[in-house]
Structure 1
Amino acid sequence: MKNVGVIGGGTMGAGIAEVVARAGSTVRVLERAEAVDAARERIAKSLARAVKAGKLAEDESTATLDRITVTTDLESFADCELVVEAMPEIESLKLEYFHKLDDIVSKDAILATNTSSIPVIRLANATRHPERVLGMHFFNPVPVMALVEIVTTLKVDPAVVTKVADFARDGLGKRTIESKDQSGFIVNALLVPYLTNAIRMYESGFASAEDIDEGMVSGCGHPMGPLRLSDTVGLDICLAVAESLYAEFGQAHYAPPVLLRRMVDAGYLGRKTGRGFYDYSK
């Protein structure tokens, strides 16, 4: 796939754009006018970290950045073979852009969503060709995490699934797993209840954040404790997935903790805002 579009230049969108451009594709990233510079700077900083860590040569970093264009013009996505939507977890916003893209890209183009929780079929049905729409769920940080979840719907063309999975594996060097279109898919359906249980434990005063995390790192061999992991994922994302799981299955253990809601209300979303269960301001 030589021409790829990414809708959204935030943490996930910028990461997706980077890995696709590093694989040699030309990438267009759609952003609001006031966020264009920030999106490009986000990608440039990530590439600079890769160079500093010895994972990427300086000339490769420059070439990667040259293959990325951050734009406000959705019409420029007309020649994209694949468009990956990576906007906030707001269903109405995603629906709006899938409807718009349906009129812009060719009938052979593939539309994918990076949603963590919204049923993919709802987004597919916003288009005239739901058979070309699927989930392509990356993980944060995208340049580091090896996995892509390929989420299939009842309407998707199996050939589209194969093409996207092959691109993720052979083009991007990712590992892939395939999930049905169920809230949380595979990873978040297992992960988020674990995270929210840890938040409830902390909320109750049973143990400190540090001890909860240390227990799972040193006692269970996890690379990161659940509260610090929640901060890394983003507490807004944790809340959105927990709400989706609860709405889908109606079981009490899926309901998001009150503390999680209040922290999101306060704007304490974790690493990306400098504060969550831990202080990242320094």
Structure 2
Amino acid sequence: MEVRKIGVVGAGQMGSGIAQVAAQAGYEVVLRDLEEGYLERALTSIRRSMGKLLEKGRLDQETHDAALARISTTLHLSDLGDCDLVVEAIVEHEPAKLELFRELDGLVKPGAILASNTSSIPITRLAAGTRRPERFIGMHFMNPVPLMELVEVIRGHLTDDETAQTVLRVARRMGKTPVEVNDYPGFVSNRVLLPMINEAIQCVMEGVATPEAIDQVMKLGMNHPMGPLALADLIGLDTCLSIMEVLHRGLGDKYRPSPLLRRMVEAGLLGRKSGRGFYRYDEKGNRI
């Protein structure tokens, strides 16, 4: 199957990044969200990101301009009807994703592939909400999408070979390295990463060390480019909690979310996007 046009549902940090790398790869892109303001913020973010690549010489002016011209935005799911591949990148909440995929299933053309950027929810469960489970797959990008090389590709129980091979080709054309993993809660990346973040949060709660000290230990001692608590702020503490809840339900009690993580989410301390998490941030997301 040839993919020429890609739909992206959700214009947040992940969705805007996916739209950007798809457009840079030469695909026509339709980016959809619920409010015009979200779409405007996404386009601003894409322009800023691509502008940095242009300044660094990683894009030339012609490629930069052509990629931006390939991105259109919409408030209407029906505008994704002629897409060959639609990637969902909305909130990490299973009922919301299932509702979206049921609607998309009735709107997009019969041969189109539906993909979820979910970071933890089993693909087979999401695929079961559609009438095309053989053309349903997980396509889990890493954050920030324009810079991170990995895409986890997750087949559901009924995903067919053609769908998997098509998505692998699309990911490679986007400049990514796709890695196929099996359909378990959290897949590989978040099954390994989120318990580490959760344990770092537990260390804060128990007074083992300050957030700064914990992050410094992991950066200097384990050579991590970013400490786990700064990374949690980047991901969003609400998203971290959602992933831990999926892991807890699917894999057992050792994945129980830290009570401090729950309290911080309840207090609206979500990380960079709210201006405060384990650290404080300005309007541009820079740490202060």
Matches within 5 A, 1:64-213: 64-169=67-172, 171-213=173-215
Question: Contact 1:39–1:70 (CA<8 Å) still a contact in 2?
Answer: no
Shift of 1:19: 0.2
Tell me the secondary structure at the aligned position of residue 127 of structure 1: coil
> Percent of pairs identical after alignment?
46
Q: Distance in 2 between matches of 1:33 and 1:211?
A: 40
Which structure 1 residue ranges, 4+ long, deviate > 3 Å from structure 2?
none
Instruction: Report the AA paired with residue 275 of structure 2.
Output: G
Shift of 1:55: 2.1
- Equivalent residue number for residue 263 of structure 2: 262
- Equivalent residue number for residue 285 of structure 2: none
Mean Cα displacement is larger for which, 39-48 or 255-264? 39-48
Shift of 1:42: 2.1
Deviations 1:5-51 (A, max 9, x none): 00010000000000000000000011113422222222222212222
| 1:49 pairs with 2:49 | no
| 1:278 pairs with 2:283 | no
Shift of 1:192: 0.5
Q: Distance in 1 between matches of 2:87 and 2:240?
A: 21
Shift of 1:101: 1.1
Tell me the secondary structure at the aligned position of residue 234 of structure 2: helix
Deviations 1:221-272 (A, max 9, x none): 1111111111122211111111110000122x21111111111112221122
Q: Pick from 224, 231, 234: which aligns with 2:233?
A: 231
Tell me the secondary structure at the aligned position of residue 267 of structure 1: coil
- Structure 2: give runs of 5+ residues left out of the alignment: 283-287
- Equivalent residue number for residue 16 of structure 2: 14
Q: Distance in 1 between matches of 2:175 and 2:255?
A: 33
Deviations 1:94-150 (A, max 9, x none): 111111111111111100000011111121111111110010000100000000000
Aligned residues: 280
Deviations 1:146-178 (A, max 9, x none): 000001111111221111012111x11111111
Question: Contact 1:5–1:29 (CA<8 Å) still a contact in 2?
Answer: yes
Instruction: Report the AA paired with residue 162 of structure 1.
Output: Q
